[in-house]
Chains A and B, each alone.
Chain A
Amino acid sequence: MDRRDFLKTTAAVGATALTGKKLFAKEPLKPEEFVGVLVDTTRCIGCRECEMACGEAHDLLVPDVQNDNALEQVRTTSDEQWMVINRFETDKGDVFVKKQCMHCMQPACAAACPTEAMKKTKEGPVIWRGDKCMGCRFCMVSCPFDIPKFEYDEWNPKIEKCTLCFDRLQDGERPACVEACPTDALIFGTRTKLIEDARKRIYNNPDDYVHHIYGEHEAGGTGYLYLSAVPFEQIGFRTDLGTTPYPEYTKEFLYSVPLVLFGLPALLFGFSHLTDKETDDSE
């Protein structure tokens, strides 16, 4: 390695460390400054280094990527793995796609949770807190991406899902998977910057990408963003989720609750009074 390259690398590492710290500075971040990850599927080579790093960072299963043949079938996350890499055969060759919690801008899981165990942090990651969760699994029913997983074989089960390495972020580090990626297929940063970056890539290489950033608007926008060379439905994404944030679907009902709770009793009371008079008269 020559000296200039060395300097460049050091500078880059330093800069990321710095930005990592800066992203978690004391002042609360504004919502548009939620952090996230941009996944450029055209760069992913399917080495699954991220899968191993995730398992190590969170005391979960560390897959034996040389021998487990896991790419032979399309997998989903589990109570042992917060993220998985899947392979899809497309007309543009094999495409590898990372799957994990999308860290929605307005997460269905957190809106569903009766104990606030699922929580959208002000920095952006959606985290789960075991001291609050009562294990009702309503988060699982509500998540449009089917991400939270439950330990069915434990007397004291946990909900398992990606936290965007919230602990590491607080120490100024990047998520373990991003750190592990050898090809920069994963980029960590504020969502605004990531979207800018993604747009730039599409603009500069219009033939290499479909002109869509998955996650920019899906389910009201997500912290994870994806670029792809082939239409997203070909690589395992649901494209029918709509752009409405999922909590919106229950808003109307929740708004009507205080209305009913105060209005209806008054109405019923008045009504019973009326009928009372009538019986009095007739008797």
Chain B
Amino acid sequence: MNNEVTVRDESKRFIKFIIQEMKPRGKWLTPFNIISIPIILLGLVILYFRFVYGLGSVTNLSQEFPWGFWIGFDVVTGVAFAGGAYVITFVVYIMRVDKYHSIVRVTVLNGLLAYMFYAGALVLDLGRPWHIINPIIGNSFGLSSVLFLVAWHFLIYMTAEFVEFSPVIAEWLNWKKTEKFVKSLTLGAVILGISLSTLHQSGLGALFLMAKPKIHPLWYSEFIPILFFVSSIYAGLSMIIFEGTISHRVFKDLIDPKSHHSFDDIMLGLGKGAAITMFVYYFFKALIFIHGQHWTLITDGWGLWYLTEVIGFVLIPGFMYAFGVRNRSLSIIRIAAILSLIGIMLNRLNTSIIAYNWNAVVHYIPSWQEFVVTLMVIFAEIWVFRWIVTRMPVFKSSH
């Protein structure tokens, strides 16, 4: 009897706590809200049309361009940007470099949300989304399909990320025992997460291997999976720098004062990692270029576009990172991060959309509705992110 009463009390307190936490906090009329709310609402209207009248009613997709901005940007680029989580967990839990401990939580949270929203955007693009259950419950396993593999990895990876993040939730709810338990799972989840990331980051590239006759030869290579994997490392690192810079300003008061002074050090370390991987990536690119004897291809507009991507947005930011680290200049590192992110975006969009069916008579250009829905996905993610970091101990070190 007594037990039951305490359980009931507990659950009452729990519900009250959750309701309390659900309430919005802070000012409503911030610039971010003023921009994001109408866009999210408009996005929902567009999605209504999309599900009632078909994909053609809001997108510019066509028979020649079956995959557009939602796949090319939201999924393919978004997942590369979310690569930071597996890189940082590798450094902290496997290499045990303590310096980065303070950013593990926020990076994992970013990764988890990015997968939920950006990889989740895949569902918006499916013509018959209710059949997504087929490859999941296993009544039709397309085992030879790269997409099957990638989708499954997304799902398992999200679970692993959730496990990695769950100590924060337990701490927020003040569930001491659970916290201890889920903490003991972290290393396992981290190892699983890194292995899965290696595979699905490269798997996103492998999606395009069979599109060989359609992708411009400057962007097609049998090594796309490796290129996608290596570039996801610096994409993730650059994203942490970019997001970290913004969070550091916006959520100043939430950040552990202890971690403040090491912030610069962390950024410099990340910049160094990014510089190294970018040079490795550039080296691969150059090897493929020389080996494939692509000299004759760079004389036209496509060649120029290719050089813009590889030199302007890989080699140059690579040098900027190196320079910034050497001179301990955070502002140069920040610019390098932005350039690198643009480079990743260009590369992913080139592979999936721009240089795809490059000689088509009518080329695909996304419709405004496709942009709005993408913005909606991004804003929705930021909303959830903001809600979580203002309530849970995300910016605290995980020690």
Q: Report A's interface with B, CB cutoff 8 A.
A: 76, 78-79, 108, 110-117, 131-138, 140-142, 144, 146, 149-157, 238, 240-242, 246-247, 249-250, 252-254, 257, 260-261, 264-265, 268-269, 271-272, 275-276, 278-279
CB-CB nearest in chain B for A261: B195
Nearest CB in chain A: distance from B2 CB, A? 44
The reply on B134 being an interface residue by CB < 8 A is yes
Contact call A136/B126, Cβ cutoff below 8 A: yes
Q: Which residues of B contact A271 (CB under 8 A)?
A: 94-95
B151 interface contact, C-beta 8 A:
yes
CB within 8 A of B127: which of A132, A150, A241, A249? A150
Q: How far is the CA of A132 from the CA of B54 in the complex (A)?
A: 19
Task: Determine if A152 and B61 form an interchain contact, defined as CB atoms under 8 angstroms apart.
Answer: yes
Quick one: given A134-B128, A141-B207, A152-B54, are A253 and B146 in contact (CB under 8 Å)?
A: yes
> Contact: B206 with A137, CB < 8 Å?
no
* Chain B: number of interface residues, binned into ranges: 35 or more
Report yes or no: B191 in contact with A265, Cβ–Cβ below 8 A.
yes
Cross-chain contact B134 with A115 (CB below 8 angstroms):
yes
Q: List 26 A-B contacts (CB under 8 A).
A: A78-B63, A108-B210, A112-B210, A133-B127, A133-B128, A134-B128, A134-B132, A135-B128, A137-B66, A138-B147, A138-B207, A141-B66, A141-B67, A141-B207, A150-B66, A156-B127, A156-B128, A157-B54, A157-B127, A157-B128, A238-B213, A250-B206, A253-B202, A257-B149, A257-B199, A272-B191
Interface string of B369-380 (1 = CB under 8 A from A): 000000000000
Contact with B211, one of A79, A142, A154 (Cβ below 8 angstroms)? A142
By a CB distance below 8 angstroms, the chain A residues around B225 are: 253
Stretch from B36-44, B137-145, B244-252, B309-317 at the A interface: B137-145
Nearest B residue to A76, CB-CB: B63
Q: Which of chain B's residues 94-144 have a Cβ closer than 8 Å to chain A?
A: 94-96, 122, 125-132, 134-135, 140-142, 144
Do residues B195 and A269 form an inter-chain contact, with CB atoms below 8 A?
A: no
Question: What are the residues of chain A within 8 A of B59 when measuring CB–CB?
Answer: 152
The 6 closest A-B pairs by CB, nearest first: A135-B127, A152-B56, A114-B148, A137-B66, A142-B210, A135-B128
From A78, A157, A275, give the contact of B96 (CB < 8 A): A275
Partner of A276 from B61, B96, B191, B194 at Cβ < 8 Å: B96
- Whole-angstrom distance from the CB of B50 to the nearest CB of chain A? 9
In the bound complex, do residue B194 and residue A264 qualify as a contact, i.e. CB atoms below 8 Å apart? yes
Contact B53 A153 (CB under 8 A): yes
Query: How far is the CB of A264 from the nearest CB of chain B, in Å?
Result: 4
The residue that A154 contacts in the complex, of B54, B61, B122, B199, with Cβ under 8 A, is B54
Docked-complex contact A249 and B94, CB < 8 angstroms: no
Residues of A within 8 A of B208 (CB): 141
A102 CB, min distance to chain B CBs, angstroms: 13
- Nearest-neighbour CB distance to chain B for A231, whole angstroms, equals 18
- Residue of B67, B93, B194, B222 touching A137 (CB-CB under 8 A): B67
The SS class assigned to the B binding surface is helix
Identify the interface centre among B53, B212, B225: most chain A CB within 10 Å of its CB. Answer: B212
Highest count of chain B CB atoms <10 Å: which of A117, A141, A269, A272: A141
A151 to chain B, nearest CB (A): 7
Chain A residue numbers with a CB within 8 Å of B126 are 134-136
Q: Is the CB of B147 within 8 A of A136?
A: yes
- Measured CB to CB, the nearest residue on chain A to B208 is A141
Our pick among A113, A153, A276 for the contact of B145 (Cβ within 8 Å) is A113
The reply to whether A268 and B94 form a contact with Cβ atoms under 8 Å apart is: yes
Bound Cα distance A116, B62 (Å)? 23
Q: Mark B206-242, 1 if CB is under 8 A from A, else 0.
A: 1111111110000000100100000000000000000
Q: In the complex, are the beta carbons of B207 and A134 less than 8 A apart? A: no
Q: Chain A's nearest CB lies how many Å from the CB of B217? A: 11
Q: With CB as the reference atom, state the residue of chain B lying closest to A138.
A: B147
Cα(A268)–Cα(B52), bound, Å: 47
State which of B128, B147, B151, B210 has its C-beta within 8 Å of the C-beta of A246: B210
Which of these, B63, B94, B146, contacts A250 with CB under 8 Å? B146
| Cβ–Cβ contact A133 & B96, under 8 A | no
Q: Which of A114, A146, A149, A241 is close to B147, meaning CB atoms less than 8 Å apart?
A: A114
How distant is A109 from chain B, measured CB to nearest CB, in Å?
Answer: 9
Whether A146 contacts B148 in the complex (CB less than 8 A), given A134-B128, A135-B128, comes out as no
Q: Which residues from A are CB-within-8-Å of B93?
A: 272
A42 and B283 alpha carbons, distance in the complex (Å): 52
A237 to chain B, nearest CB (A): 12
Most chain A CB atoms below 10 A, which of B145, B149, B191, B209: B145
In angstroms, how far is the closest chain B Cβ from the Cβ of A135? 2
Which of B53, B144, B206 gathers most chain A CB within 10 Å?
Answer: B144
B57 contacts A153, CB within 8 Å?
Answer: yes
Which A residue's beta carbon lies closest to that of B210? A142
B151 touches A114 (CB 8 A): yes
**Known: A111-B145, A116-B142, A260-B198. Is A135-B203 also a contact (CB below 8 A)?**
no
**A144 and B213 contacting across the interface, CB-CB below 8 Å:** yes
Does B55 have its Cβ within 8 Å of any Cβ on chain A?
yes
Closest to B194 in A: A268
Selected from B56, B140, B213, the residue in CB contact (under 8 A) with A115 is B140
The minimal Cβ–Cβ distance linking B97 to chain A, given in whole angstroms, is: 9
State in angstroms the CA–CA spacing of A141 and B51 once bound together: 22
User: Which residues of B are found within 8 Å of A254, using beta-carbon distances?
Assistant: 144, 146, 149, 206
Chain A residue contacts of B90, Cβ below 8 A:
268
- A141-B211, A142-B210, A250-B144 given; 15 more Cβ-contact pairs under 8 Å: A108-B210, A113-B142, A116-B142, A138-B145, A138-B207, A140-B63, A146-B64, A149-B63, A152-B56, A241-B213, A242-B212, A250-B210, A257-B199, A260-B195, A268-B194
